[in-house]
Structure formats: C-alpha cells, structure tokens
Chains A and B, each alone.
Chain A
Amino acid sequence: MFKSLAVPEFLANIDQVKCIRCKRCIQNCGWDVYSWGGDKVLIDTFKCVKCLRCYHYCPTEAITIEDNLVRYRNNANWGFFQIRNIKKQAETGGIPLTGMGSDMPYPVLFDNLLIDACQVTNPSIDPLREPMELRTYLGKKPAKLEFEKTTDGKSKLKTKMPPQIKLEVPFIFAPMSYGSISLNAQKTLAIAAKELGIVMNTGEGGLHEDIYPYRSNVIVQVASGRFGVNPDYLNAGVAVEIKIGQGAKPGIGGHLPGEKIPLDIAKTRMIPVGTDALSPAPQHDIYSIEDLRQLIYAIKEATNYTKPVSVKIAAVHNVAAIASGIVRAGADIVYIDGFRGGTGAAPVIIRDHLGIPIEYALAAVDERLRQEGIRNEASIIAAGGIRSSADAAKAIALGADAVAIGTAALITMGCTVCGKCYTGNCSWGITTQRPELTVRLDPEVYAERLINLIHAWSHELREILGALGVNAIESLRGSRERLRGVGLDSQTLDILGVKPAGR
C-alpha cells in the first residue's frame, strides 16, 4: 500500500522539552495518532482530526495541533478540499463521508436578522423583576374553545384538548440514535431533559432500557429502519415522531455497519448482533402523502390518541407544500430540519449540496400554513443550525414553536465539531461505541453542563423578551414585525416576511 497523496489537514506537535512521557495522549486519542516509540511519543499526523482531546488532557501543555500550512497551489476554482477529495476517491473509489452539519460558507440568514427593542413608547420589562414566561406546548390546537354552563352556573370546557407536550422552555434535543451516539450521551440528554422539563428524542435506534425512567421526557422515533418499534415502544414516550428526512442528508438513508452492532445496540434495535442496520432512503410503506396519513393514524390508533405525532422532514425546495400536506395528513407537529443540520454520518456531497437552510424553510412553512388557515393544526419545530439563544429567538420570531438542538448539546459534552462522528472513534465518548471511549462520558457530570447551557440560553431568551417589552414567548412566536433584515435583497426579505432595517 502506498502512502496517501491526500495532504493531511492538521499537524500534531509535541514539544519534546515540555513532554514528560506520561503517555496520556496515547491513551486519550481515539484515532491512534500517537504511539510509544521507546523514548518518546511518535505522531502519525495523517490520522489527526483536531478534536483536541489530547491537547486538553496533556498535563504539561506540550501538545499543539495546527492547521497544515501545506496546501495545494492556490486556485480560486480548485480549492483544497476539491483536490483532496479527488485524490481520496482515486485511492478508494468510495464516497467520502463526514459528520456534523455542513461547514461550507453558505449564507446564514440568522446573521442577517436583528431583533427589535423597546424605547419610550412601549416600555421594556425587567426579567429580573417581572415574570417572563417561556413555557411552550407542542401539538395540535383547536381553532377555538367552546364552553358549556354546568348546573351550578359555572362554565366548563366543552372542547376536548388534543394531547400536548409541555416544555418549560422552547428548546428540545434533536433526535440522535443510540448507535450514532453512545448510550452515555443519550443518558446525558435524558437526565438534562428531565431536569429542564423538556424532551429528548430517541432517534431511530430504539429505546434502551436505561432511558425508560426518563420516558416522560422522551419522544420516540419511527424511521425507515423501524428499529426497536413495537407497541410498548410507541407508548413509552410523550410523543411519536415519524422520520422522513434529515437536513444533513435529505432523501438518503443510513447505514450502521455490523461491526458497530454489539449486543446492547442489537437488543435496543431489535436486530441480530453484527448485522448491518440499514435505514432505507424512503420508508417502504410511505410512497405518497396518503401513505403517510395511514402511518400517522396507525400510530395514533396504537397509542390510543393520547400522544401527538410528529413528522420530521428535511428542508427541501418545496418544503411549504410538503409541510402543508403533512399537516393535512394529521401530523400534530412538523419538525423541519434545515440544510445545516448535523448528522452522525453522511456523504459529503449530499450534506453540502442538498436541501435549503432552515430560515427560508421555516418562514415559508409558517406563512403557507397561515395562508391555508391551518397553522393551529400543528406546531413547528425548527432545527438545523441553532447555535445560540439569538438564533433560537429569531427562529421563534419567524414562526417556530420550539427549536431543536443537537450539535450545541453535544458540544457541552466535549464535542469540538471535528466532523468525524462517522468513524466511531470519538475521543470524547460521544459518537462511538468503543467501551474504553464511552466510559469517559459521565452522564451525571455532563448533564449538568447541558443543563447549564439551556439555563443560560433561557436566561438570554428572557432578556430578549424583556427588551422586546413582552413577557411571554408566544408574543414573539411568529412576530416577524420584531425582526429586521440587514444586507438582504428584497426577494429574500419577502420570503422571510421581514422588513429591512430602517423601515
């Protein structure tokens, strides 16, 4: 085998004077970058992904990981990664894979939107002194309420409320399956969700018995592989989600290779140990909107109409019409995953070139559902690139009921968005099943960090609401009048339903 001609991206360095030969870097690196050479640590920099595990765990700060300055000759058209990918494909004949959301410099419209604030004519509200409400309910809402008078003259609710998911704050954790992430990572999400009064989502990998105690904070997912799906599973959580697509890889399925299916995952997914876990691109019983309707109602029957049914789709060109169909098919929640959404594994070419960003998709869906008079029929969850509470506030103002966060949650567990989730070597114990790596992720410890993050974002949201002079999140939801666009053309503003700054 010849040495790869794909230039390494990163250069791992050890300062030999500072190094005390403790070998912690060798122990910590999940990628085998380091090995023991008898008197010093040897480095295979080709394997380095810059996840910085070794850097953080080096007791003498001897390690530096630098971007490799050696690049191919400058060319505005043939960029480094284009040339490198061709070399890799020439060597392997395969499809280069990647993890996480797209790192391409497509415009992020959240960065072109600014939020209003009150001055004089309407007072701002101090969230430290006044109540500031973030509670959110997900599910179908009747268009109106009807009351009836009881014999004692009191008025009683006649309308039967459809089932709702109660969230104390408008954040949920994005679906990440056991298999794509470790059980400890899922436990971290579950502990945090319970403490925060929000929900996590099993993803398509079934529900491990260790997560059952957190079932009142869990959405269970039904995807094309139908892993772990049975009546108990459907009834285990607070809602059921049908996964049609994922923002990072719209239109394609998934493939968890057999070597990543040890006993525990096999049990949870209800498949034999060591078999490939294949998620087909479409669900094989859904080839049309009426098929989706049948599945939605099959699930509603199986859960006795006690749980909202969510449908998750990737944001694609025609997303507004698709979402409208989904709502008319009976979904109680539409989960829209934008182009920048994360993944455990996807072909680079798919991730970076298919789909549309969440800002456009969300604005189009919310507006379409309103035009059709069915916005109350379903809640909207926006996902795919929510990086801060500001992004969340902007998404909510564009029309989302809640936002889902995946990558941000993993970052609290140590993730540095190195994008190598698909290798199963995550040195932080997140996207790996190797026991010596997963053991590093203590759910109790990291849940606290995740809780801290959501608390911090919630405080920030309250500050934003206060500045806007409103004291409930529903007064921001869909209130695009409180956003202004900077540096956006008039057509984009039109799609977003937002005025330019200065108007």
Chain B
Amino acid sequence: MSHNFQKDMSGCGLAGIINKNGKRISGSSITKSMCLMNDRGNGLGAGYAAYGIYPEYKDLYAFHIMYDESASQRDTEEYLKKNYHIEKKEPMPTTPVEGITISPMIWRYFVKPLPEKTEREIADLQDDDFVVRTVMKINSEIGGAYIFSSGKNMGAFKGVGMPGEIAKFFKIDEYEGYIWTGHTRFPTNTPGWWGGAHPFTLLDWSIVHNGEISSYGINKRYLEMYGYKLTLLTDTEVVTYLLDLLVRKHGLDVLTACTALASPFWKNIDDMPEDEKNVMTALRIVYASALMNGPFSILFGHSKGLVGFNDRIKLRPLVAATKDKTVYMASEESAIREICPNPDKVWAPRAGEPVIAELEG
C-alpha cells in the first residue's frame, strides 16, 4: 500500500451500443461512432470492448495479455500452466497500421482454472475470485506482463493510437458483439502506454471512462482494504474495482451500486419518504469512501447489460438514445447520430442518474 505513486490523468470521448435482444452487431459501427470524436483524443490511447465475440469458447475465460518481452511471457505462461487448463493459445490477430510503429506482443488464451491446485484450496476460492487473484498477481508481480482482458465470451482491445488506427490494428470490424464500448483518450501527463488505454476490464466488467476522479486517493485506499491492488494508477481502474466490490462481492444490484458511487445529496435524501431515506442514508454512511467525486461519465458493460452514468453534478457529458431494441450512449449526440441518424428518443441523463440497459429474456 504505497502512497508513492504517479497518478494518470486524462480527458476523453466514449461511446457504447447494446442490442437488448442480444443480436450481434459488427464492430464497424462503434468504430465509426468513435472516429467522429477524434478531437476528444490525442492519439495516446484508444480501445474497444465487445461482448458475445467468442461464442465457441463462451465457458472459458478469455485472457488478453500484453508482453513487453519474451521473459514476461515465459514467466506468465509458467504460472498459467501450473494453475489453468489452457484450451487454446494464440497470438492476437492484428494487422500492420501506418500510424502504429511500436506495439507490445499481444497474446490470447482461452483458459479455465484447474480445480485441484493447492493455491486455490488454501483460499477456498471460486473460479471468479481465483481469476481476479491471477490478474492482480500477474499485473503486479510479473514485470512487463499485463492481462488486459479476463472475462468470458468478451474481450477488450486497446492500445496507443487514434480510434480508427486501433480498430484497424485489432481488426475490430471482424468481430460481432451484442454490446460494444469504445474510448479515445486525451492523457495530460503520461506517455502512451498500451495498458493505460481504455477499456479497463476485470472478469466480465469493462469500463470506459471520461473524467478525473478527484476522490481517487480515498477510493484507492478503500479498495486496498479489500485486497485490491491498484497497479495502473488510473481512475478507471478504481471504477472497475469499485463496481466489482459492490456488485460481485457485496451483491448490490447495479442501480444501488451506481447510487452508492454517485450518491444523491443529503438535502434530497432528507426529503425522501422514510424507507427510502433510511436506505439512502445507510448507503452513504457505509459506502462513503466509495463515493466517486469529481467529473466523470462512465460506461460500464457486463455480460447482461450496459450502464452509463455521470458524477453527482454532471461535470462531464453523456447523451443517451434508443432506436427499437438498441440503446446508444456517447459523449456527444453527434457520435450517436453518426451511426443512428433517426433515434426514437435522445436525452441527456441527469447527474448521478444511471441509464441501465439490460438484455431481455
């Protein structure tokens, strides 16, 4: 739990799409939407997350891993072999792109934790918990190795470049998913690092985020108390882990979790009916250190839905729209209209009020 860290800061643009019937959409849509917002980034990071892209391996964890050097890969694979059944291992399919001259080695693994390993027996961990522990361990202990995607039937693709370049590099338009999120970055104080681009993921959670969490210091220390290791020093990592803690570990529903993270003001809580007031008061008291304060708009995806939400006074933009069974969310309305010229409904969600779109049936 060191306090000697350099925190990452950035401004951004983001977009997300979900088809509530689970119909899979080509990656070309999200790419088009993101490319319209090129001026919200500066080429130092872009990325995408997609759900439903690996139906043939849907029961296996898909690890996307970046390596700086072959030694990192050797050490990582040694650990994986000891603890996981590796169904398939392959280099990430990529294409050379003019603007991208340097990239890490990127590999993809479809794996399942071995049931009988001692390391698990001691801690009596469920598969998900063990995968989280693996991600924390490799990312913090093996130099030059970074697991940037670890969910089932989903994946993150990200790197240093503009949204169009990154999409081309990872051949995004060859994937089909029922949820997509995209991100372009405008970092102000970090050199481009592939791992630092969004989305950030943990298990099925993926986050794209625009803003700076001014409460980062306490959010980080709060998460560390629950065993999370914050290695990336970005706000987005905090969001990812907070949601993991509140929703997966504490069992709060998504709406309640979002309410805890961007809570209503006391003056509004005091006027609520007694029951609601008690719930809100308890939520604020118990999750005070999880309150995310400062400007942000966030899209987070999980296997069953997409959620967009803002900080408590809406200091960063977020627009939402619907068209039939598809829900769109983005930093700018123009990015939505670029791929959906005539939405049924367009609105700007209120501060702290999440937009929750879930798969039906």
Binds B, one of A38-46, A115-123, A449-457: A115-123
- Contact in complex: B294, A122 (CB < 8 Å): yes
Q: How far is the CA of A468 from the CA of B226 in the complex (A)?
A: 26
Instruction: Specify which chain A residues have a CB less than 8 angstroms from the CB of B226 in the assembled complex.
Output: 373
Q: How far is the CA of A12 from the CA of B253 in the complex (A)?
A: 71
CA distance A245 to B113 in the complex (A): 53
Q: Residue A86 at the B interface, CB < 8 A? A: no
Interface residue B252 (Cβ < 8 Å from any Cβ of A): yes
Residue B214 CB within 8 A of the other chain: yes
A480 to B291, CA, bound (A): 16
Q: Are B3 and A469 in contact (CB under 8 A)?
A: no
Q: Which of A157, A370, A498 contacts B221 (CB 8 A)?
A: A370
Contact B3 A145 (CB under 8 A): no
0/1 string, B219-237, CB within 8 A of A gives 1: 0111011100000000000
Given contacts A145-B250, A145-B252, A371-B1, contact A475 B212 (CB under 8 A): no
Which of B1-56 touch A at CB < 8 Å? 1, 3-4, 6-7, 9-11
B72 interfacial by beta-carbon distance below 8 Å? no
B-contact 0/1 string along A460-503, CB 8 Å cutoff: 00000000111110111111111000000000001001110001
Check A475–B291 contact: CB distance below 8 A.
yes
Closest to A465 in B: B293
Q: Mark A261-283, 1 if CB is under 8 A from B, else 0.
A: 00000000000000000000000
Give Cα A132–Cα B291 distance, bound, in whole angstroms: 14
**Which residues of B are found within 8 Å of A312, using beta-carbon distances?**
none
Chain A residues, CB < 8 A from B265: 131, 133
A141 with B285: CB separation less than 8 A? yes
Across the interface, do B253 and A479 meet the contact criterion of CB distance under 8 Å?
Answer: no
Contact with A along B60-98 (1 / 0, CB 8 A): 000000000000000000000000000000000000000
Which listed residue (A141, A371, A503) contacts B4, Cβ 8 A?
A503
Write out the residue numbers on chain B whose beta carbons fall within 8 Å of the beta carbon of A475.
214-215, 218, 291, 293-294
| A498 and B3 contact, CB distance less than 8 A | yes
In chain B, positions 276-296 with a C-beta closer than 8 Å to chain A are 278-279, 282-289, 291, 293-295
Our pick among B220, B267, B282, B288 for the contact of A145 (Cβ within 8 Å) is: B282
* B315 CB-CB contact with A under 8 Å: yes
Question: In the bound complex, do residue B256 and residue A155 qualify as a contact, i.e. CB atoms below 8 Å apart?
Answer: yes
Instruction: Report if B188 contacts A (CB, 8 A).
Output: yes
Tell whether B312 is near chain A: CB-to-CB under 8 Å: yes
B99 contacts partner chain A, Cβ-Cβ < 8 Å = no
CA distance A490 to B253 in the complex (A): 43
In the complex, whether A130 has a CB less than 8 A from a CB of chain B is yes
Closest to B283 in A: A145
In the complex, whether A146 has a CB less than 8 A from a CB of chain B is yes
Which of B214, B253, B267, B315 has most A Cβ within 10 Å? B214
Are A131 and B267 in contact (CB-based, < 8 A)?
Answer: yes
Min CB–CB distance A309 → chain B (angstroms): 18
Residues of A within 8 A of B313 (CB): 125, 130, 471
Chain B minimum-CB-distance residue to A141: B286
Please indicate the chain B residues that have their CB under 8 angstroms from the CB of A135 in the complex.
266
Query: Is A471 touching B218 in the complex (CB atoms < 8 A)?
Result: no
A498 CA to B217 CA, complexed, in Å: 11
In the complex, what residue of chain A is closest to B267 when comparing beta carbons?
A131
Nearest A residue to B7, CB-CB: A481
Interface assignment of B115: CB less than 8 Å from any CB of chain A: no
Across-interface contacts of A122 in B (CB, < 8 A)? 9, 211-212, 214, 294-295
Collect the chain A residues with CB atoms within 8 Å of residue B266's CB: 131, 133, 135
A137 vs B216: C-alpha distance when bound (angstroms):
21
Known interface pairs A122-B214, A370-B224, A373-B226. Does A471 touch B3 (Cβ–Cβ under 8 Å)?
no
For the side of the interface on A, what is the size category? 35 or more
User: Does B251 touch A at the CB level, under 8 Å?
Assistant: yes
- Chain B residues touching A, range: 35 or more
**Known contacts being A144-B286, A145-B283, is A499 close to B4, with CB within 8 Å?**
yes
Question: Is residue A159 within 8 Å, beta carbon to beta carbon, of the partner chain?
Answer: yes
Q: Which residue of A lies closest to B287 (CB)?
A: A145
Contact in complex: A497, B214 (CB < 8 Å)? no
For B315, what are the chain A residues with a Cβ–Cβ distance below 8 Å? 123
Q: How far is the CB of A357 from chain B (nearest CB, A)?
A: 19
The CA-CA distance from A12 to B297 in the complex, in Å, is 66
Residue of B4, B220, B251 with highest tally of chain A CB at under 10 A: B4
Per the bound structure, the CA–CA distance linking A481 and B287 in Å amounts to 19
Q: Evaluate contact between B3 and A370: CB separation under 8 angstroms.
A: no
Contacts of B252 in A (CB 8 A): 145, 147
Residue B275 interfacial (CB < 8 Å)? yes
Whether A137 touches B4, Cβ cut-off 8 Å, given contacts A123-B315, A156-B275, is no
Which chain A residue shows the least CB distance to B279? A157
Asked whether A478 and B188 contact (CB < 8 A) given A131-B265, A157-B282, the answer is no
Q: Is the CB of A481 within 8 A of B251?
A: no
Q: How many angstroms between the C-alpha atoms of A503 and B211 in the bound complex? A: 21
Known: A122-B214, A471-B293. A157 touches B278 (CB 8 A): yes
CA distance A479 to B288 in the complex (A): 12
Docked pose: A468 CA to B294 CA in angstroms: 9
In chain B, what residue has the closest Cβ to A130? B313
Q: Judge whether A164 is part of the interface by a CB distance below 8 angstroms.
A: yes
CA A356 – CA B175 in complex, angstroms? 62
Q: Which residue of B lies closest to A159 (CB)?
A: B282
Cross-interface CB contact of B217 among A125, A141, A482, cutoff 8 Å: A482
Cα-based distance from A479 to B222 in the complex (angstroms): 10
User: Given A479-B215, A481-B3, A481-B220, does the pair A145, B278 have CB atoms closer than 8 Å?
Assistant: no
Q: Is A79 an interface residue (CB 8 A)?
A: no
Q: A residues within 8 A CB of B212? A: 121-122
| B286 and A142 within 8 A (CB) | yes
Chain B nearest CB, measured from A163 CB (Å): 11
Complex Cα–Cα for A174 and B289 (A): 25
**Would A146 and B251 count as touching, CB distance under 8 A?**
yes
User: Which B residue sits closest to A373, measured CB to CB?
Assistant: B225
Evaluate contact between A161 and B282: CB separation under 8 angstroms: yes
B218 in contact with A477 (CB, 8 Å): yes
A375 within 8 A of B: yes
Chain B's closest residue to A482 (CB) is: B217
Within the complex, what minimum Cβ distance (angstroms) separates A401 from chain B? Answer: 9
In the complex, what residue of chain B is closest to A366 when comparing beta carbons?
B221
Q: How far is the CA of A122 from the CA of B217 in the complex (A)?
A: 14
Q: Chain B residues near A494 (CB, 8 Å)?
A: 3
* A480→B3 CA distance, assembly (Å): 8
State whether A472 and B250 are in contact (beta carbons under 8 Å apart), knowing that A122-B212, A144-B286, A477-B218 are contacts in the complex: no
A367 to B221, CA, bound (A): 9
Contact B225 A470 (CB under 8 A): no
Task: Give 16 CB contacts A-B under 8 Å.
Answer: A122-B214, A122-B295, A135-B266, A144-B251, A147-B279, A155-B279, A157-B278, A370-B221, A373-B226, A468-B214, A469-B293, A472-B291, A474-B284, A475-B294, A478-B221, A481-B220
Chain A positions near chain B (C-beta within 8 angstroms): 118, 120-123, 125, 130-131, 133, 135, 137, 141-147, 154-157, 159, 161, 164, 367, 370-371, 373, 375-376, 468-472, 474-482, 494, 497-499, 503
Which B residues are closer than 8 A to A by beta carbons?
A: 1, 3-4, 6-7, 9-11, 188, 211-212, 214-218, 220-222, 224-226, 249-253, 256, 265-267, 275, 278-279, 282-289, 291, 293-295, 312-313, 315
Listed from nearest, the 6 A-B pairs whose CB atoms lie closest are: A481-B217, A479-B217, A475-B215, A475-B293, A474-B288, A470-B293
Besides A161-B286, A481-B7, 20 new A-B residue pairs in contact (Cβ under 8 A), listed by A number: A121-B11, A122-B214, A125-B313, A141-B286, A144-B251, A146-B250, A154-B275, A161-B285, A370-B1, A370-B225, A371-B1, A469-B294, A471-B312, A474-B218, A478-B222, A479-B216, A480-B3, A481-B218, A482-B217, A499-B4
